[in-house]
Chain A
Amino acid sequence: MSGNNGSGKPKFAMYWAASCGGCEIAVLNIHEKILDVDANFEVVFWPVAMDAKYKDVEAMPDGSILLTLFNGAIRNSENKHMAEVLRKKSQILVAFGSCANEGCMPALANLSSKQDLYDTVYDTISTENPDGVRPQTKWEVPEGELEIPEFYPVVRTLDQVVPVDYYIPGCPPESHQIAAVIDLVIQVLQGKAELPPAGSVIGAGTSTVCDECERTRNIKHIKEFTRIQNIEVDPELCLLEQGILCSGPATRSGCNALCPQAGAPCIGCYGPADDALDFGARLMSAVASVIDSKDPEEIDRILDGIPDPAGSFYRFNLAGSLLRASKSAWFGNGK
């Protein structure tokens, strides 16, 4: 493994596309491990922490960066451009965090067309916009032309745009998992370990959140779904058994079941469990298996307790799922 161009330490980069910044904070939360990164790598591009610019990266030789952690989804033309540039410049490109892996919550926008989205955002109750002004990719002002990136019809994952070598899930990835990955890469550099097979999910477990959850599980059979605000939640008992839709059965382990331990349901931020092809399909089958009825009418009534199936089953992973987007978003034809 090289990437040092004979100039000492191998090169490291981190970039955000359409993201919230939480992945960067999670990396900074590894505290003193950051010093290990500094000791073993030359950080050549990381907009949150240092000054290198897009054109500095574009000027680097292809393959000159050993490791790039790419977070954020592909929402616009700037995101796509940077994904392509960093793919070319990097030997190892990692999809880092839920947005790059599977789209995250902002990919729920794939259920609406771009026009619908613009009409909502630029005509809210507090927006005064009688002329229906919308952002334009190019706009002539008295002094010259102004440009902003093109907003694409749908959110895409990183590997829908460029080939990806490894996947680190989580919203955001937990800091102890990030630290473990950094340790591994340093060991590989020192010849003490081997890289995992290309395409692997790293920095996460191989089972489900349920396996990490300390809540008591009995035999799961429920007669109705409820909402967390509507009941006194038992602090010890499995949330799904209490009728709260919890994504634990379909979600990859790795977070130590943070949310269920704090009394809130798992929302699925670590993505599909190791053997699940589609997160939503897996969770739906898990939910179907706990419904305690054989009567179609009663089953309908029980399922009515899940008011937002699309959001509940594809909250983090619509862009990366088998569905990817609604027809209207995909074809861009209005509402």
Chain B
Amino acid sequence: MERISIDPITRLEGHGKIEIFLTPEGDVANTYFQVPELRGFERFCVGRPVEEVPVLTNRICGVCPEAHHMAGAKAADAVYHVDPPRTAKLLRELLYSAFFVTDHTTHFYALGGPDFVMGPDAPVAERNILGVIHKVGLEIGGKVIQARKYGHTIIEMIGGRKIHPCTSIPGGQTKGITEEQRQEIEKMGRWAVEFGQFSLKLFNDIVLGNQAYLDLILADTYTHKTYYIGLVDENNKVNFYDGKVSVVAPDGERIGKYAPSEYTDWIAERVEPWTYLKFPYLKKVGWKGFVDGKDSGVYCATPLSRLNAADGMATPLAQEEYERFFSTLGGKPVHQRLATHWARLIELLYAAERLVELATDPEITSDNYHTIPTETPTEGVGIVEAPRGTLTHHYWTDERGVTTKVNLVVGTTNNYAPISMSIKKAAQTLIKKGTVVNEGLLNMIEMAFRLYDPCLSCATHSLPGKMPLEVTIRDADGNPVEVLKQFC
């Protein structure tokens, strides 16, 4: 069978490869999204002192180590049955809010945004962060760099390092912050709120104000009706750091909420022999293959999923935007995957507002940031929302607090099946008998997975932000007939 190979794809979490098989008529028969690497953290994190695992698992991803450090620290708290002091939780969530501001900013301006700001079939040389800056003004480039710098400054103040933080331990934190640092953080947070509002206005003017883009968002090409999951607080508002995981069906009905310790009742993972990554799905619904709908256990865990799975946002400005989002797109849930870009900006605004709330809490500078665990360690689960999806760490230890087993269900992994489906649907819609496979078309396929914010996108903040692709069209004997490339 004739095939199109996209190998390697870059700027996703690790390495990736796509195989598109064509029928003799030239339609798309099937697609495979393969992840060609494995490091095996679940094995080599065993036998380690449990307080080290949040530091070891940082190295799963140097783009979002904050997420692993937080999920790991919460799991380690649970292992020791210790509840950290309020100040420790505030500090962790403060670091985490700063991280979300930085991470979401980068994705919108460097990676996802250019498709909209410049247009999906804009000239390649313009469809990147530099093009965005050119179109909307140099001043915005400075703001993007500022947002990223502020984020890392706060992360280092609380986490000890800009990359791979080290201060969260069982029972709390190894250090607090001074009043002087608090004031600095508050100032940066207030700036970030304005930046969040500004970013939403930009999206409003450039994307929502353009009927062609609105049509693109609403198009069937990028629509999948799956289940959605996301962490919510006790009022069912979106929360990144703590709460229960809300699960909603494709019709929008909440079918349940699970506490971290109950995740194995809800989530299962499938192994396929042609890839190193597993495919999570909803256990109660079951694995029915790469299909959407209520009978398929495929779920999605993204900014869009979090908005769909919650009843609203816990901060006032983000709540207004949340309401506008659903009223504009025709109510809940929103299945149009390209709307994930908009949802990400609403989350950015929430993270900034939350940052200010936390930085102005009177207890944030308290030196009561650690509780010494007193109980015998056993087993514990920690869940946070990583920017790319719900992140679950589960540790078991012996009575000395040395790990005997580790299980991880990682952010981007949640979306492996939906990303695969989105690639297939985009390829099937766009590549038909007699289609000329050109650069613009390739970008439309890229957009199918770029919206999920594959992990390494964060790294591209200051550089041309597009997913490099190469498509080789091969004849039935595997000989290349034509090679298409995208270059800046």
Residue of A nearest to B30 (CB): A143
Specify which chain A residues have a CB less than 8 angstroms from the CB of B458 in the assembled complex. Answer: 25
Stretch at the interface among B38-46, B115-123, B339-347: B38-46
Picked from A117, A148, A172, A311, the residue with its CB within 8 Å of the CB of B47 is A311
Could you tell me the distance between the alpha carbons of A23 and B51 in the complex, rounded to whole angstroms?
24
Cβ of A171: which chain B residues have Cβ within 8 Å of it?
A: 59, 164
Q: Bound state CA distance, A175 and B161, in angstroms?
A: 11
Min Cβ gap B459→A in Å is 5
Closest CB-CB distance, A84 to chain B, in whole Å?
Answer: 16
- Flag if A49 contacts B271 (CB, 8 Å): no
Nearest B residue to A261, CB-CB: B160
Report which of B40, B167, B373 forms a contact with A264, defined as CB distance below 8 A.
Answer: B167
A4-12, A86-94, A126-134 - interface stretch: A126-134
- Residues of A14-40 contacting chain B, CB below 8 A: 18-26, 28-29, 31, 34
A contact residues around B470 at 8 Å (CB)? 53, 55
Chain B hits for A264, CB < 8 A: 160, 166-167, 169, 174
Closest to B476 in A: A144
Given known pairs A28-B462, A134-B271, the reply for A121 and B160 (CB within 8 Å) is no
> B407 an interface residue at 8 Å Cβ cutoff?
yes
Q: Taking CB as reference atom, which chain B residue is nearest A266? A: B166
**Is B431 an interface position by the 8 A CB rule?**
no
The reply to whether the CB of B430 lies closer than 8 angstroms to some CB of chain A is no
**Chain B hits for A311, CB < 8 A:** 47-49, 52
Across-interface contacts of A175 in B (CB, < 8 A): 162
Q: A263 interface residue, CB < 8 Å from B?
A: yes
Give complex CA distance A23, B163 in Å: 9
Number of chain A residues whose Cβ lies closer than 8 Å to a Cβ of chain B: 81
Instruction: State the 3 A-B residue pairs at the shortest beta-carbon distance, nearest first.
Output: A22-B62, A262-B160, A263-B174
**Which chain A residues border B276 with CB–CB below 8 Å?**
135, 148, 151
With beta carbons under 8 angstroms apart, the residue of B37, B44, B159 that contacts A76 is B37
Q: Is the CB of A48 within 8 A of B160?
A: no
Counting CB contacts under 8 A, is A50 at the interface?
yes
Q: Tell me the bound Cα distance from A49 to B152 in angstroms.
A: 20
Could you give, for residues 227-245 of chain A, a 1 whenever the CB lies within 8 Å of some chain B CB and a 0 otherwise? Answer: 1111111010000000000
A116 CA to B55 CA in the complex, in Å?
23
The yes or no answer to B202 lying at the interface (CB within 8 A) is: no
Docked-complex contact A259 and B166, CB < 8 angstroms: yes
State the CA gap A287–B170 with chains docked (Å). 24
Question: B34 near A53 (CB under 8 angstroms)?
Answer: no
Q: Is the pair A308, B36 in contact by a Cβ cutoff of 8 Å?
A: no
- Of the listed residues A23, A125, A315, the one surrounded by the most CB atoms of chain B closer than 10 A to its CB is A125
CB-based nearest A residue for B286? A128
Q: Considering the chains assembled together, what is the distance between the CA atoms of A161 and B104 in angstroms?
A: 38
Residue in B164, B283, B464 whose Cβ sees the most chain A Cβ within 10 Å: B164
Smallest CB-CB separation from A78: which chain B residue? Answer: B36
A31 to B458, CA, bound (A): 14
CB-CB < 8 A to A112: which residues of B? 40, 43-44
CA distance A19 to B170 in the complex (A): 27
Of the A-B pairs whose beta carbons lie under 8 Å apart in the complex, a sample of 8, sorted by A's number, is: A22-B61, A48-B10, A76-B38, A117-B40, A124-B42, A125-B405, A148-B274, A308-B402
Question: Once the chains are docked, how many angstroms separate the CA of A231 from the CA of B374?
Answer: 11
Complex Cα spacing A251 to B280, Å: 40
Q: Does A282 contact B (CB under 8 A)?
A: no
Given contacts A111-B44, A307-B49, contact A134 B273 (CB under 8 A): yes
B461 at the interface (CB under 8 A from A): yes
- Residues on the B chain within 8 Å of A258, using CB: 160-161, 166
- Candidates B163, B280, B405, B468; contact of A22 at CB < 8 Å: B163
**Interface: B456 (CB within 8 A):** yes
A105-126 residues with Cβ-Cβ distance < 8 A to B are 105-106, 108-109, 111-112, 116-117, 120-122, 124-126
B372 and A231 contact, CB distance less than 8 A: yes
Cα(A264)–Cα(B274), bound, Å: 41
A236 CB → nearest B CB, Å: 12
Q: Which of B265-280 contact A (CB under 8 A)?
A: 267-276, 278, 280
Q: A50-B463, A120-B40, A125-B394 in contact; A262/B274 too (CB < 8 A)?
A: no
